[in-house]
């Protein structure tokens, strides 16, 4: 995919983070919305710098940073070596001196070499400096499967980071949220791991969210209201769940879909409110089910909504095996049938 | 370049501060008022002070797990450091970091960590910030022989080299990673040789000689300020205590080896030299010693009488703004 970057003036100010410089196109691919978010963040704040493998001259392997080095120069869009620990370590050092680095980790599985810097340094340096240091670092990670890639290029490592105090985790499912959440992540003084659903990069949607002012980044979104069961999804599985809800409607079931948007912290009030209304919940993610976010959500909803639940909270996700190569991935990824089966199970109690 | 008597006296003062601070830490640990383990710098004071005094207060510094001495070398006040060791709220980290997070940000420290080698790429980032801002600040990064085997050493030095970053990587080679001899686990005899892999200068210096360390690091700092990039300096030194105080394991080192290094204890080495050269009289040296002893005693008093943090303070500074009540927990 090639795109032509058109420089345009920005009047954006954080935290409004609304693309207002010119009429937004009716619909843009999610990857383009991310690029627009990066571009406007860089235009609004000279301390925003990009750092990563192939982000500059190439514009990123998914072309999210396309045109940015041309526009902002090599000092602000920095091509790094293959050196994930070095990229995140350097970003930490930059943040210590007032920069707002945005790192790109080329593929989900490539974050593991940087795990140490993220978990032992980035997440806790604000506290380990008694508040002196602000870790305004955003780490963008294209994640999840569905693009016919192999393991380490198709993984969903979010639970490792959700377990770590001091990190914020965001993941958009729409173009509007891709733009908005990325602007909010970059403006945030805390470290943010920003998970991008790579198989949705080419799906189109409006660049502007309907809410004005836009919701805070910790807020979950009811993507489709319903009354009988709540599907809790994020990133790439939101679309899957919306499709499942449409299919279930044909069977006379009213399915609510909640898009988490923020994986850390989780928006418990929105979740609890939905589940108290519907009485049933199924969590759907690509990541391995075992000790995944679904486990945390199921446990907490059981504690908070026990007397409202008609059935145990269900989970649909990846199997406890390394992500399989392309021919098997459609078996591995939660699809419409597996989600609808889980909904059926929730009605058997 | 001959150092002025004032600078030499200040070197002696800072080295003594470190030694006496560490000896007090030993006593307080034995008494049971310091939680956790402490890794003492006794024996390494010359390389610490020689390097720290080659940079300015505005320059950055990153420490490691054996880092009580680094902030003192850079001129930090002793009381908030001692309070941190004792886990008190008045400590540099409000009593929540402890011995291995003894960073004093007021003197340019950017942190310390017990993850060996973790500061090496971070130092590159801080130096990159200086370069992007067009400042002539440099970053001094301390790590040990063990860290030079970590992947982060390679990544950090490579980044610093390709971007010509103003960093001084100071390897404090005290011969042992915990109880394992560097001779057995480092593939080269001199860690400075590893600089060749990054196309940068590597220098070896006698870590017991504060003046020699100062001279070598000053040269590296000048290179860095001129925009010529990083230098790897290897200071050959020795820690007289165990890896961590109280381990009582000495079967990995011989008595002869320790005695040989004790004969080159950097503190009497410098004192004798200053007195012989007429820089300090015996009386003046005694005054410096008395003052340092009084400073450390005052720091201990301050620490002992300081309050502990409240349990709820464990959540302070987890995020820059408290999470909204609807999501916290």
Of the candidates B123, B137, B120, the one whose C-alpha atom is nearest the C-alpha of residue B221 is B137
Of the candidates B247, B244, B193, B207, the one whose C-alpha atom is nearest the C-alpha of residue B15 is B207
Q: CATH topology for A221-346?
A: Rossmann fold (3.40.50)
Q: How high is the pLDDT of residue A23?
A: 55
Provide the pairing of β-strand A221-224 with B180-181.
unpaired
| Domains of chain A, residue spans | 28-205, 221-346
Q: How high is the pLDDT of residue B248?
A: 81
Task: For residue range B232-281, list pLDDT tens digits in order.
Answer: 999 999 999 989 988 888 889 999 999 999 999 999 999 999 999 999 99
User: Distance between CA B211 and CA A281 in Å, rounded?
Assistant: 70
User: Distance between CA B231 and CA B223 in Å, rounded?
Assistant: 8
Is the confidence metric ipTM above 0.90 for this complex? yes
Q: How high is the pLDDT of residue B321?
A: 87
Task: For residue range A59-80, list pLDDT tens digits in order.
Answer: 999 999 999 999 999 999 999 9
Q: How high is the pLDDT of residue B324?
A: 60
Which residues, other chains included, contact B3 with Cβ-Cβ below 8 Å and sequence gap of 6+? B11, B211, B214
Q: How high is the pLDDT of residue A1?
A: 33
The arithmetic mean of pLDDT across residues B67-94, rounded, is: 96
Cβ of A347: how many Cβ atoms within 10 Å?
12
How many residue contacts between A and B have a Cβ separation below 8 Å?
151
Q: Is the pLDDT of residue A253 over 80?
A: yes
Smallest CA–CA distance, residue B60 to chain A, in Å, is 10
Q: How high is the pLDDT of residue B327?
A: 53
> Cis peptide leading into A293, omega within 30 of 0?
no
Q: How high is the pLDDT of residue B131?
A: 97
Q: Is A55 helix (H, G, I), strand (E, B) or coil?
A: coil
User: Distance between CA A324 and CA A332 in Å, rounded?
Assistant: 7
The arithmetic mean of pLDDT across residues A147-161, rounded, is: 94
Nearest neighbour of A129 by CB, restricted to B111, B139, B155: B111
Of the candidates B105, B216, B214, B226, the one whose C-alpha atom is nearest the C-alpha of residue B165 is B226
Q: Are A140 and A186 in contact (CB under 8 A)?
A: no
Q: Is the pLDDT of residue A245 over 90?
A: yes
Query: Could you tell me the pLDDT band of residue B329, with boundaries at 50, 70 and 90?
Result: very low
User: Distance between CA A43 and CA A20 in Å, rounded?
Assistant: 13
- Residue of chain A with shortest Cα separation from B130: A97
The arithmetic mean of pLDDT across residues B13-31, rounded, is: 97
Give all strands of the β-sheet with B60-62 in edge-to-edge order.
B60-62, B139-144, B167-173, B231-236, B202-206
Query: Could you tell me the pLDDT band of residue B285, with boundaries at 50, 70 and 90?
Result: very high
Q: How high is the pLDDT of residue A6?
A: 35
Instruction: For residue A118, give the DSSP letter.
Output: I
User: Distance between CA B47 and CA B28 in Å, rounded?
Assistant: 25
User: Distance between CA A311 and CA A305 in Å, rounded?
Assistant: 11
Q: Is the pLDDT of residue A12 over 50?
A: no
Task: For residue range A276-323, list pLDDT tens digits in order.
Answer: 999 999 999 999 999 999 999 999 999 999 999 999 999 999 999 999
Q: Is the pLDDT of residue A16 over 60?
A: no
Q: How high is the pLDDT of residue A57?
A: 95
**A218 contact residues in B (CB cutoff 8 A):** 323-324, 326-327
Q: Pick from A46, A48, A78, A86 the residue to mutate for testing the B interface (most B CBs within 10 Å).
A: A86
Q: How high is the pLDDT of residue B328?
A: 47
User: Distance between CA A104 and CA A90 in Å, rounded?
Assistant: 13
User: Distance between CA A226 and CA A274 in Å, rounded?
Assistant: 9
The arithmetic mean of pLDDT across residues A225-251, rounded, is: 97
Task: For residue range A29-41, list pLDDT tens digits in order.
Answer: 999 999 999 999 9
The arithmetic mean of pLDDT across residues B153-175, rounded, is: 98
Q: Which of A132, A153, A285, A308 is catalytic?
A: A153
In CATH terms, A28-205 corresponds, of 3.30.70.2340, 1.10.4030.10, 3.40.50.970, 3.40.50.300, to 3.40.50.970
> Cis peptide leading into A236, omega within 30 of 0?
no
- Which one has a higher pLDDT value, A244 or A326? A244
- For domain B5-304, the CATH superfamily is Thiamin diphosphate (ThDP)-binding fold, Pyr/PP domains (3.40.50.970)
With a pLDDT cut of 70, the percent of chain B lying above it is: 98
- Residue of chain B with shortest Cα separation from A118: B118
**B105 contact residues in A (CB cutoff 8 A):** 129, 132-133
Query: Could you tell me the pLDDT band of residue A2, with boundaries at 50, 70 and 90?
Result: very low
Q: How high is the pLDDT of residue A10?
A: 33
Query: Could you tell me the pLDDT band of residue A210, with boundaries at 50, 70 and 90?
Result: confident
Q: Is the pLDDT of residue A14 over 90?
A: no
Q: Average model confidence (pLDDT) for chain B?
A: 95
The residue written with tokens 């007429």 in the block is B278
Q: Is the pLDDT of residue A222 over 90?
A: yes
Q: Is the pLDDT of residue B70 over 70?
A: yes
User: Distance between CA B196 and CA A324 in Å, rounded?
Assistant: 42
């Amino acid at each position: 995919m090639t795109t032509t970057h058109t420089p345009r003036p920005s009047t954006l100010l954080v935290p409004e983070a609304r693309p207002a410089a010119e009429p937004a196109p009716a619909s843009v691919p999610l990857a383009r919305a991310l690029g627009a978010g990066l571009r406007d963040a860089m235009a609004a704040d000279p301390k925003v710098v990009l750092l990563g493998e192939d982000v500059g001259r190439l514009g990123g392997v998914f072309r999210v940073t396309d045109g940015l080095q041309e526009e902002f120069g090599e000092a602000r869009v920095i091509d790094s070596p293959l050196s994930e620990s070095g990229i995140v370590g350097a970003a930490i050092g930059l943040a210590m001196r007032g920069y707002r680095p945005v790192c790109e980790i080329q593929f989900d599985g490539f974050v593991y070499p940087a795990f140490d810097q993220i978990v032992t340094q980035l997440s806790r340096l604000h506290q380990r400096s008694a508040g002196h240091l602000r870790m305004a670092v955003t780490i963008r990670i294209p994640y999840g499967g569905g693009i016919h890639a192999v393991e380490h290029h198709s993984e969903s490592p979010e639970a490792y980071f959700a377990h770590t105090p001091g990190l914020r985790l965001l993941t958009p499912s729409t173009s509007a949220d891709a733009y908005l959440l990325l602007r909010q992540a970059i403006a945030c003084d805390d470290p943010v791991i920003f998970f991008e659903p790579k198989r949705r990069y080419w799906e189109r949607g409006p660049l502007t969210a309907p809410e004005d002012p836009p919701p805070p980044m910790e807020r979950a979104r009811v993507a489709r209201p319903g009354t009988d069961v709540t599907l809790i999804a994020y990133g790439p599985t939101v679309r899957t769940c919306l499709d499942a809800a449409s299919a279930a409607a044909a069977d006379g079931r009213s399915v609510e879909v909640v898009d988490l948007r923020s994986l850390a912290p989780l928006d418990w009030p929105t979740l609890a409110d939905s589940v108290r209304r519907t009485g049933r919940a199924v969590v759907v993610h690509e990541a391995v089910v075992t000790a995944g976010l679904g486990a945390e959500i199921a446990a907490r909803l059981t504690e908070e909504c026990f007397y409202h639940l008609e059935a145990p909270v269900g989970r649909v996700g990846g199997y406890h095996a390394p992500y399989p190569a392309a021919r098997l991935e459609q078996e591995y990824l939660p699809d419409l049938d597996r989600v609808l089966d889980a909904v059926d199970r929730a009605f058997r109690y | 370049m001959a150092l002025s008597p004032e600078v030499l006296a200040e070197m002696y003062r800072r080295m003594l501060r470190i030694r006496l601070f560490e000896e007090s830490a030993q006593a307080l640990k034995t008494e049971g008022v310091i939680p956790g383990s402490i890794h003492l710098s006794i024996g390494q004071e010359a390389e610490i002070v020689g390097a720290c005094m080659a940079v300015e207060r505005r320059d950055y510094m990153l420490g490691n797990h054996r880092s009580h001495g680094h902030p003192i070398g850079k001129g930090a006040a002793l009381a908030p450091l001692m309070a941190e060791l004792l886990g008190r709220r008045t400590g540099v980290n409000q009593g929540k970091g402890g011995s291995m997070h003894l960073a004093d940000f007021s003197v340019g420290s950017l942190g310390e960590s017990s993850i060996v080698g973790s500061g090496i790429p971070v130092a590159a980032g801080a130096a990159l910030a200086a370069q992007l801002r067009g400042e002539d600040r440099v970053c001094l990064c301390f790590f040990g022989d063990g860290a030079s085997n970590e992947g982060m050493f390679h990544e950090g030095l490579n980044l610093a080299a390709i971007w010509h970053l103003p960093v001084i990587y100071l390897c404090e080679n005290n011969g042992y990673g915990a109880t394992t001899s560097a001779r057995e686990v480092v593939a080269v005899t001199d860690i400075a040789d590893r600089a060749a892999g990054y196309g940068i200068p590597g220098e070896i210096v006698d870590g017991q000689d504060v003046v020699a360390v100062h001279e070598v690091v000053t040269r590296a700092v000048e290179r860095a300020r001129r925009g010529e990039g990083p230098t790897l300096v290897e200071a050959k030194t020795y820690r007289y205590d165990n890896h961590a105080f109280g381990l009582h394991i000495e079967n990995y080192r011989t008595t002869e080896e320790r005695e040989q290094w004790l004969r080159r204890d950097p503190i009497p080495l410098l004192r004798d030299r200053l007195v012989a050269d007429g820089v300090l009289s015996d009386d003046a040296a005694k005054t410096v010693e008395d003052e340092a002893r009084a400073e450390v005693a005052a720091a201990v008093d301050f620490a002992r009488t300081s309050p502990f943090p409240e349990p709820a303070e464990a959540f302070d500074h987890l995020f820059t703004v408290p999470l909204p009540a609807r999501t916290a927990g």
